[in-house]
Structure 1
Amino acid sequence: MALAPREQVKYWSIAAAIFVAILWFLGDVLTPFVLGGAVAYCLDPVADRLERAGLSRIAATIVITLMGVLIFVVALLLILPSLINQAGQLIQQIGALVQNAPQLFDRFEGWLTTQFPSIDLESDAIRQQLANIGSAIQSSGGSVLNSILSSALNLINVVVLLVIVPVVSFYLLMDWDRMVAKIDDLLPRDHAPTVRKLASQIDNTLASFIRGQGTVCLVLGTYYAVALMLAGLNYGLIIGFVAGLISFIPYVGALVGGILAIGVALIQWWSGTEMVDGQTVEVGINWLRIGIVAAIFMFGQFFEGNILTPNLVGQSVGLHPVWLILALAIFGSLFGFVGMLVAVPVAAMIGVVARFLISEYKNGRLYRGLSGPGE
């Protein structure tokens, strides 16, 4: 005999409370294991395909691991040194920009006065606002820079992730099908068909989003990095990497990357001096190069919204951008980095369960009343 609905709600509420408590108290400890599980989940279809080709599960896992190690070594030798070098230089550039904020605003004020004589920059209100903006950047920039530096210098956690995540991924990938079978065997018999149906929908949602969106991030990151470097922008590799990395959040990747790239372009190609035939020549603002940088991100956003996302992610994922951003914000605020890692799966689960409950509600007496299905 099935449990009463009230009893079922009680047990599911206890399970949800235990899940929240584990995230709250063990979030930092769980980070490498959550990452390892995400990697194993993404690679499970590859292992299944290798099994269908004739390999055993252990052999398929070993082949995937060796390929991953090879890709990591190539990236370590060819890409990571430049990435780390540009990241360090960019942090130094941000520090110098913060310290020189008042002088930069004075230069900006002089340029505005030259280009737009009709603007009354001598008025107290405008001058006070410009001064407030400069002071705010200078006062808050130091704390932001210290946070960036402290995070960058926390190498112990990085080493731990690099060691534990591959090990966890290897063992989870090797035992993935066995674990799924064990979990299926523990399902309540009365609700097993419904749970399997919901789990299948959640899996389809996650597969479409995580695997498809991961490919989108990789393509966009490569495009932004290569295009910015060809445009001659300083730190183009690290800016493209950051923009691609956070492109899974709708519009945020292009927005943050575009603001960062245009800011660097304004600093790099603002009026200054160049050496021409051994002589120092004063040059003006290079609006063409700055416009090229802006156009790179405009095209990237168009390419993502009209070609990449519709073809690689699809329109039936069921994760609305606002719902995804809300989940990332809430879980990131409550549980830190591990909260952001589990935000997408939890958002997908809640979305699937919500659609199921709405469907059940519309098929029930509370919605239909006594009028019957024909009304």
Structure 2
Amino acid sequence: MTMRQQMLAWVGIIAAIVALLVLLSNILLPFVAGMGVAYFLDPVADRLEKRGMSRTLATVLIMVVFFLVTILAITLLVPVVMNQLESFIERMPLLVQAFNDRVLPYVQGIADRFNIDLRSNVQQALEDNKAQAMSMIGDVVNGLLGGGWAVFNMLSLVVITPVVGFYLLRDWDHMMARVDAYLPRDHAETIREQAREMDRVLAGFVRGQILVCLFLAAFYGLGLSLLGVQFGLFIGVTAGMISFIPYVGSVFGFIVAMGVALAQFWPDYVWIGLVAAVFGLGQFIEGNFLQPKLVGERVGLHPVWVIFALLAGGALFGFVGILIAVPLFAVIGVLMRFAFTRYRESWLYRPGEPPDSPPPQPAPKQNPPNG
């Protein structure tokens, strides 16, 4: 088989896999979630194996502890967050009115110097966007909770994900060995090297970013709740959990929390400043300790590409696409860096040199003529 035929075959295989994923996107969520759980917990199973525990027993122990902690967290946290979300939506008009009554007159005094009617502009903007905002919230809730596939996905997460996660975690090493056995022998070491790089990148994102998001959700939620900010737990947890999108989580949380704090505490600048300090401290810890330690530069994607990956994944595959978008783009980034490295080593990058030409040899040193 020629190189051209091999390339066409691989392109056809990849196209068939992508088409199959698009057709089956509605049922992929429990399998993607189970694969993520297995990949996240595989290092723990490896450590228990090294201490003499069988892989099956280690898997059972890990999965039981993991899902007990998950169920406990959901049972304790989700009802509180949902109640605060419902109260936040109901009290939104009161918060806006409090902002208009307490804060806007002070800001309007500054705006008067520039002949700007800020009160009218803000009121008009709120009126224009109120219906649109409520429509967007309704669409999101309907998308998450409505429809047969949504109900199926929620049930499958509870029933199928633990089963998939258990078998993948138990057989992870055997599956990797089986895949390695099918690698083309002439290129096996190169493929293994790129696979190790992909694992390093994915470990940085999947394991590192999840830990960062969990810390920020706990930090923001607890900090705002201790300060007595209304709906602080909902705001903090939401800001932390969407922090895998660069800057979006922190900016969203800061704007919403400051808006609530201004409406609730104005003109007490100390409490308003403390709310701002929670997000400032959270960003300081994330930027100087969590990201370098847990994630670092291992993903290798610019923040703009991360945002593009999330939007593209969501548009193509919905919620499943959002889950796999950044890891998939990170893997593609590894392959692209490898391709560009090979390109710069090839004769295509140096068109003056023929293919497989040996490097130029230095000219032989000539002895000076005898005088």
**Root-mean-square deviation (Å):** 2.6
* Aligned equivalent of 2:343, options 361, 367, 370: 361
2:328 is equivalent to residue 330 of structure 1: no
* Aligned equivalent of 2:177, options 178, 181, 188: 181
2:295 is equivalent to residue 303 of structure 1: no
What is the CA-CA distance between 1:119 and the residue it aligns to?
Answer: 4.3
CA contact (8 A) 1:224 1:297 kept: yes
Counterpart for residue 58 of structure 1: 56
Counterpart for residue 294 of structure 2: 312
* Aligned equivalent of 1:170, options 166, 169, 187: 166
> Residues of 1 paired with 2:247 and 2:235: CA distance?
15
* Aligned equivalent of 1:68, options 44, 66, 72: 66
> How has the CA–CA distance of structure 1 residues 138 and 317 changed in structure 2, closer, same or farther, with 3 Å as cutoff?
closer
Q: Which amino acid aligns with 2:21?
A: L
Q: Which amino acid aligns with 2:125?
A: I
> Residues of 2 paired with 1:121 and 1:324: CA distance?
38
What is the CA-CA distance between 1:344 and the residue it aligns to?
Answer: 2.0
Classify the secondary structure of the residue corresponding to 2:229. coil
> How has the CA–CA distance of structure 1 residues 352 and 134 changed in structure 2, closer, same or farther, with 3 Å as cutoff?
same
* Aligned equivalent of 2:303, options 318, 321, 328: 321
* Aligned equivalent of 1:224, options 220, 225, 246: 220
What is the CA-CA distance between 1:178 and the residue it aligns to?
Answer: 1.7
> How has the CA–CA distance of structure 1 residues 101 and 25 changed in structure 2, closer, same or farther, with 3 Å as cutoff?
farther
* Aligned equivalent of 2:237, options 230, 241, 257: 241
What is the CA-CA distance between 1:334 and the residue it aligns to?
Answer: 1.9
Classify the secondary structure of the residue corresponding to 1:213. helix
State TM-score, norm by structure 2. 0.86
CA contact (8 A) 1:102 1:135 kept: no
Counterpart for residue 138 of structure 2: 146
What is the CA-CA distance between 1:24 and the residue it aligns to?
Answer: 2.0
* Aligned equivalent of 1:136, options 112, 122, 128: 128
What is the CA-CA distance between 1:34 and the residue it aligns to?
Answer: 0.6
CA contact (8 A) 2:230 2:260 kept: yes
Classify the secondary structure of the residue corresponding to 2:113. coil
Counterpart for residue 187 of structure 2: 191
CA contact (8 A) 2:222 2:233 kept: yes
What is the CA-CA distance between 1:310 and the residue it aligns to?
Answer: 0.8
Classify the secondary structure of the residue corresponding to 2:300. coil
Q: Which amino acid aligns with 1:186?
A: Y
> How has the CA–CA distance of structure 1 residues 368 and 46 changed in structure 2, closer, same or farther, with 3 Å as cutoff?
same
> Residues of 2 paired with 1:127 and 1:244: CA distance?
32
> Residues of 2 paired with 1:301 and 1:374: CA distance?
53
- Deviation sequence 1:143-198 (CA, Å, 0-9, x none): 12312442464483433322222221112111211222222222233332222221
> Residues of 1 paired with 2:248 and 2:280: CA distance?
13
Of all paired residues, the percent bearing the same amino acid is 44
> Residues of 2 paired with 1:30 and 1:262: CA distance?
38
After TM superposition, the structure 1 stretch with the greater mean CA deviation from structure 2, 103-112 or 308-317, is 103-112
CA contact (8 A) 1:105 1:134 kept: no
> Residues of 2 paired with 1:315 and 1:93: CA distance?
42
Structure 2 stretches lacking a partner, 5+ long: 362-371
After TM superposition, the structure 1 stretch with the greater mean CA deviation from structure 2, 248-257 or 84-93, is 84-93
> Residues of 1 paired with 2:122 and 2:233: CA distance?
32
Q: Which amino acid aligns with 2:138?
A: N
- Deviation sequence 1:330-363 (CA, Å, 0-9, x none): 1212221111112122112111111111111111
What is the CA-CA distance between 1:261 and the residue it aligns to?
Answer: 1.3
After TM superposition, the structure 1 stretch with the greater mean CA deviation from structure 2, 28-37 or 339-348, is 339-348
Classify the secondary structure of the residue corresponding to 1:139. helix
Q: Which amino acid aligns with 1:360?
A: R
Counterpart for residue 273 of structure 1: none
Classify the secondary structure of the residue corresponding to 1:367. coil
Structure 1 stretches lacking a partner, 5+ long: 271-284
2:327 is equivalent to residue 345 of structure 1: yes
- Deviation sequence 1:210-254 (CA, Å, 0-9, x none): 111211112211111111111111111121111111112221221
> How has the CA–CA distance of structure 1 residues 352 and 35 changed in structure 2, closer, same or farther, with 3 Å as cutoff?
same
After TM superposition, the structure 1 stretch with the greater mean CA deviation from structure 2, 289-298 or 53-62, is 289-298
> How has the CA–CA distance of structure 1 residues 341 and 294 changed in structure 2, closer, same or farther, with 3 Å as cutoff?
same
> How has the CA–CA distance of structure 1 residues 67 and 360 changed in structure 2, closer, same or farther, with 3 Å as cutoff?
same
After TM superposition, the structure 1 stretch with the greater mean CA deviation from structure 2, 12-21 or 241-250, is 12-21
> How has the CA–CA distance of structure 1 residues 120 and 226 changed in structure 2, closer, same or farther, with 3 Å as cutoff?
same
CA contact (8 A) 1:101 1:138 kept: no
What is the CA-CA distance between 1:28 and the residue it aligns to?
Answer: 1.9
